[in-house]
Chain A
Amino acid sequence: MSDKVLHYCPGCTHGLAHRLVAEVIDELGILERTIGVASVGCSVFAYDYFRCDFQQAAHGRAPAVATGIKRVHPEAVVFTYQGDGDLAAIGTAEIVHAAARGEQITVIFINNAIYGMTGGQMAPTTLVGQATTTTPQGRAPERAGYPVRMSEILATLDGAAYIARMSLHDPLHVGRARRAIRKAFEVQLKGLGFSMVELLSSCPVNWGLKPIEALHWIEQRMIPSFPLGELKNTAGVV
């Protein structure tokens, strides 16, 4: 990672997720052939923090941009870093079809159950009953539908080789998340297909919680809706 000071809010786990991805890239010794794709949202400045080539994509289109890059440089390691608004709402088609094609890219999917950058509106991943600025009385399924579980959806696709959902709420889970990220990159390095790691992350500011409370909220509220684990590992990467 670069020396630049992170712009993320106090208690946000984006910085942690960045650190894990950067450590895995260093461990695998692939920094000089890695190309990242930054999405629209809080993480739009991801390219300021990673010391590899980057392209910035339109909202939701990171998997399509990554596809274009990977097809030009099959030997490169290409990853996208996307939030839940980006990946599970406006970019649903792009992520589904990149996975269906078995596109040899790695996706880091940050799920914090809310729209962060635009100021706390409902996301596709917002929990039933969760209050946001556009569901002030709490998400009511009869009006606003149900949370979308992208990892489960993508795991059904033949082109997806490795799909895992991990959490960043405590050191034990951070360690597991790190191992999953490493596996996802290894899947790409071995040319086995599409790989994605969903990371349950905090958004204390938009959730209206203190940083510590936010970590508890992930554990107590999010994990029951978004069960952790490897949803697919056909690649046999251990």
Chain B
Amino acid sequence: MKGLEAMGEAAIRAGCRYFFGYPITPQSELPEYMARRLPEVGGVFLQAESEVAAINMVFGAAGAGGRVMTSSSSPGISLKQEGISYIAGAELPCVIVNMMRGGPGLGGIHPSQSDYFQATKGGGHGDYRLLVLAPASVQELADLMFEAFELSERYRNPVLVLGDGLLGQMMEPVRLPPEQAVAPPNRPWATTGARGRAPNLVSSFHIDPAELEALNLRLQEKYRTIRAEQTRFAVEDPEGDARLFLVAYGTAARVCRAAMRRARAEGIPTGLIRPISLWPFPDAAFEQVMERALGFLTVELSLGQMVEDVRLAVAGRRPVEFYGRTGGMLPDPEAIVERLHLLWEKVGVRHG
């Protein structure tokens, strides 16, 4: 199944019944899939007049208690940032998909990971965080998409699924999650018409500074909980002997897996750390390998964004190097192996 279609089907099986979006390459097959499938399950697909309108329709539908999502690609996600900030401020659940393409500006349509900062450090205005999930296969696109809805509702927080055009277009076998019975939503805060109860208000507006500070402190408390509960990663170390670790997510992790095999064949004991939650960033992955690790090489489809979080996690204890390609170019496994050789010369030989 194609990645984007797997995402759409997983969303529907997770109970998503509302999709508001606007076409942009390379993710248009997802809204197209939803336009076909949602009416079949009694849902609503609506093509908005812009990304700005689409995310605000998501705001309205989420506030009204609907299980709702939108999807876009980099320039479109920039337009959605206003609404995402409001949704985070009003603490509404929803799922947002960004199939990244090269930037800045209109950039290009080829796969990229240059929206990492925007995804994990804010994007819109205000002190808020999104839960950011980064799949690396069609199976994970489906699994994480399904989970994204559950997580967004558990924490009443928007969840961002961060992929790229390559993953979306890729065809791989996939086992779809079972259809989830759409439970009658238990959302006492939602705007459903105030029959027999006091009126509900969905808002991110707090003109009293003490009230706004209290909201922000409460949000930080929620983010601390998410940090404690939702750190996800995979460590690949086939022989359990790795001394150098590649660090990469999504498409870059797939390239790194090939580089890891090649480096191992050339005598460099290499492993791979694959962050799956980008926020919260999985610091624990580094603690797990720190004792035996001699160095880290972060590989991204950007000129160095996640590497900043890797350096924070490693905290100067080991060298952290970086290799990246950008603009839609993919890193070449050979070039990665070459850099592993250089790092191994620096730290491995000394270590014997």
Contacts and interface: CB of A to CB of B under 8 A. Distances in A.
Given A32-B194, A93-B53, A68 B20 contact: yes
Contacts of B52: 61, 64, 93-94
B194 A55 contact: no
Contact of A61 (B56, B200, B201): B56
B57 A53 contact: no
A33 B193 contact: yes
A58 interface: yes
A166 B35 CA distance: 40
Contacts of B192: 35, 53, 73, 76
A68 B194 contact: no
A94 B202 contact: no
A69 B205 CA distance: 19
Interface stretch (B42-50, B270-278, B290-298): B42-50
Contacts of B196: 32
A54 B202 contact: yes
Interface in B303-348: none
Interface string B179-214: 000000000000111111001111111000000000
Contacts of B195: 32-33
Contacts of B63: 55, 65, 68-69
Nearest to B48: A64
B249 interface: no
A2 to B, nearest CB: 9
Kindly name the residue among B50, B191, B194 whose own CB sees the greatest number of chain A CB atoms within 10 A.
B191
B199 A53 contact: yes
A65 B68 CA distance: 13
A123 to B, nearest CB: 20
For the complex of A and B, list the 7 residue pairs with the smallest distance between their C-beta atoms, beginning with the closest. Answer: A68-B60, A56-B203, A64-B56, A68-B61, A65-B60, A53-B191, A97-B49
Given A64-B53, A64-B56, A69-B63, 20 more contacts: A32-B195, A32-B196, A34-B193, A37-B60, A50-B199, A51-B194, A53-B200, A55-B60, A55-B64, A56-B204, A61-B59, A65-B63, A68-B57, A69-B61, A72-B65, A73-B193, A76-B193, A93-B49, A94-B52, A97-B48
